[in-house]
Amino acid sequence: MAREPLRDGHGRAIGDLRVSVTDRCNFRCQYCMPAEGLPWLEREAILHFEEIERLVALLGSMGVHDIRLTGGEPLVRREFPKLVARLAALEDVHDLSVTTNGFLLERDAAALVEAGVDRVNVSIDSLQRDRFYEMTRRDALPQVLRGLEALGAHPQVHPIKVNAVALRDFTEDEAIPFADFARRHPYEVRFIEFMPLDGDHAWSRDQVLTGDELRAIIHARWPLEPEPREPHATARVFRFADGQGRIGFINPVSEPFCGDCNRIRLTADGTLRTCLFSLNETDLRGPLRAGASDDDLEQILRDAVWRKELKHHVNDPGFVQPTRTMSAIGG
Ligand code: SAM
Ligand code: SF4
């Protein structure tokens, strides 16, 4: 049953949902999780597949057609491809994608494709094994690259994006190797500015290496030309002037793109977040498990989305980092 489109109080139509399917992860990236991990959610606290499916279907009927599954590390959730298959079968899901660290992709790529995934983003912060280890605290680069290759064997999954978090005094040396990688492979590489969502709460502005700085490094070697910005796009995409590939920059800190943000997020324990940096969230698991009807849930969703933040305040004095960190929100 089609319902009224979901809109926030600033007139933005919501079309994109990120679902965190687990808060657990097999990596410990410096910019995301403390070395010792975080206290994991109890199993019962986590939404069951049926519960996720019900919320995705309901939101789909309200115009939320783009669904990205993330975490934590989504591929560590048991039977994850089964969830993908259930969501891919929903009429109102038009684009189903996954963000993964790639460690289990060699094992799961074929199952995910068979389940109906449309697109996959793989996070890789360095193309050098020792530096990858330094950043993720796991010696896993060869395994991740094998996963990427396994995925590449399925041309129906397209485009494949490779995301690297950009940190000052680290990523400068990765710019040219990643640009070269983007030129030689059919992957779109994107650099993401470091955001204050780290598990150690150690973010500071001077650790942010901006997309513009990285772009200048690459442009000096291989000139870049801007591609037109698509609506709701987070990345500024450039093509290499000689026609060999593309590269993108996601600049939430230096160049916020809140104006046409059409996203909401569902955490693994069933709360709705209307911004990465929200200080308030809305419980959906309670009402779901208490027997709420779809109409009840629709009202809760509409009320929460109506209050969606106009913009984030990372650049304002007095910014407060949310308690939940990136892995517990679903990036
Ligand atoms: N584990 C999966 C992965 O790493 O791709 C999915 C979840 S992870 C939280 C999603 C994305 O958020 C990754 O690309 C990761 O690099 C990015 N990320 C994590 N912490 C971040 C931070 N503090 N600032 C910017 N990006 C961050
Ligand atoms: Fe895990 Fe992804 Fe966070 Fe790295 S960024 S610790 S892979 S959730």
Is residue 316 predicted with pLDDT exceeding 90?
A: no
Q: Which ligand is nearest to the CA of 23?
A: 2
Tally of domains within the chain: 1
Mean pLDDT, residues 10-32: 97
Measured in Å, residue 290 CA sits from the centre of ligand 1 at 33
Q: Helix, strand, or coil here: 189?
A: strand
The DSSP output letter for 127 is: S
Between 328 and 45, whose confidence is greater? 45
Does residue 276's CB lie within 6 angstroms of at least one atom of ligand 1? no
pLDDT in tens, 193-209: 999 999 989 999 999 99
Q: Is the CB of 72 under 6 A from ligand 2?
A: yes
Any idea which ligand is nearest the CA of 265? 1
Model pLDDT, residue 239: 97
Query: Does 318 score more than 90 pLDDT?
Result: no
Q: Which atom of ligand 2 is nearest to the CA of 33?
A: 6
Handedness of CA 53, 54, 59, 63 (dihedral sign): positive
Q: How confident is the model over 65-74, as a mean pLDDT?
A: 98
Across 317-325, average pLDDT = 88
pLDDT interval class at 320 (50, 70, 90): confident
Say if strands 187-193 and 246-250 run parallel, antiparallel, or are unpaired.
Answer: parallel
Residue 185, pLDDT > 90, answer yes
Asked if residue 130 has pLDDT above 90, the reply is yes
For residue 323, tell me if it sits in a domain: yes
Ligand 2 lined by 71 (C-beta under 6 Å)? yes
pLDDT at 303 over 90: yes
Residue 265 reports pLDDT greater than 90: yes
Confidence grade of residue 331 (pLDDT, cut at 50, 70, 90): confident
For residue 26, which of 68, 84, 80, 66 has the smallest C-alpha distance? 80
Residue 206 located in a structural domain: yes
Q: Which domain holds residue 194?
A: 16-329
For residue 99, what is the domain's CATH number? 3.20.20.70
Share of the chain above pLDDT 90, in %: 90
The answer to whether position 205 is within a domain reads yes
Q: How far is the CA of 106 from the centre of ligand 2 (A)?
A: 18
Using the mean position of ligand 2's atoms as its centre, give its distance from the Cα of residue 65 in Å.
25
**In-domain check, residue 193:** yes
CB of 132 sitting under 6 A from ligand 2? no
- Residue 283 in domain: yes
Residue 257 pLDDT grade (very low, low, confident, very high; cuts 50, 70, 90): confident
**What residue's CA is closest to ligand 1, atom 8?**
331
322 within domain boundaries: yes
Nearest ligand to the C-alpha atom of residue 140 = 2
* Position 1 pLDDT exceeds 90: no
Confirm or reject: Cβ of 33 under 6 Å from ligand 2. yes
pLDDT per position as a tens digit, 220-254: 999 999 999 988 899 999 999 999 999 999 999 99
The DSSP secondary structure of 235-295, one letter per residue, reads EEEEEETTSS-EEEEE-TTTS--GGG--EEEE-TTSEEESSTT-S--EE-HHHHHTT--HH
Q: How confident is the model at residue 13 (pLDDT cuts 50, 70, 90)?
A: very high
What's the pLDDT at 317? 87
Residue 11 inside a domain? The answer is no
In this structure, the number of other CB atoms found within 10 A of the CB of residue 104 comes to 18
DSSP 8-state class, residue 55? H
Domain-embedded: residue 106: yes
Higher-confidence residue of 256 and 70: namely: 70
Nearest CA to ligand 2 atom 8: 72
Q: Check if the beta carbon of residue 71 is closer than 8 Å to that of residue 77.
A: yes
